[in-house]
Structure 1
């Protein structure tokens, strides 16, 4: 298989995963970027807005908008950084932690559907190959 065919196959799977991800988020009326923001806060929080922007690979202003949206839904809260009064920390609320857990379970189920045609050996081999291509 040549590089173009591999790229087409890769992007086809990526489209399926993106579509399933959007379906998984639909019941919570959360956008993919909002979920990514909440997931980063869950993994790294309490976190400064600047660090959140770096993890999301977006501009700090965009990270502020994501946090504004999450805060308006009661999923995160801001607090002053005790180490630097000029900085703000973002933390998940209890509701946010619950929501992230529920969405991660739904996303896992949708992703598992995409790879259900592969047996355990094939999934392990695909994972190995993708990590190799990613340079890990």
Structure 2
């Protein structure tokens, strides 16, 4: 899946690492309430310094921006820019296209079976049982 997605991203001329792509998805998940840097580190299960590095790179590309928290100016929040939203849409499109490529050889019945199997795995207690 990763290889197919990378191929589709290359066609779109997107130069984002998987970690940067994941950070964009996590920031978007928060919607209109931009997350704190600490929230991102906890959600991504990484040290805060790793988030700083990711945000630095994405900010340089114009995909995110740091904004002060209106209630506490010492707190930094991260929000998507218009470029970040467009990039996220392109990344989602690349992921969808990659999934379609991978699943193309399967019949509708086989896809349903695979979907059920994957759902059963996801419904378990998660990867960190």
TM-score by length of 2: 0.83
Kept after mapping to 1: 8 A contact 2:5/2:97 = no
Which of 24, 28, 39 matches 1:38? 24
Structure 2 residue runs of 5 or longer lacking an equivalent are: none
Count, aligned residues: 120
User: Shift of residue 88 of structure 1?
Assistant: 0.9
Q: Which structure: greater helix fraction?
A: 1
Aligned residue in 2 for 1:110: 98
TM-score by length of 1: 0.79
After TM superposition, what 4+ stretches of structure 1 lie above 4 angstroms from structure 2? none
Kept after mapping to 1: 8 A contact 2:4/2:101 = no
| Greater relative contact order structure (CA < 8 Å, 6+ sep) | 2
Q: Which structure: greater strand fraction?
A: 1
Partner Cα separation in structure 2 for residue 126 and residue 64 of structure 1: 38
Q: CA RMSD in A?
A: 1.6
User: Shift of residue 21 of structure 1?
Assistant: 2.2
Structure 1 residue runs of 5 or longer lacking an equivalent are: 1-16
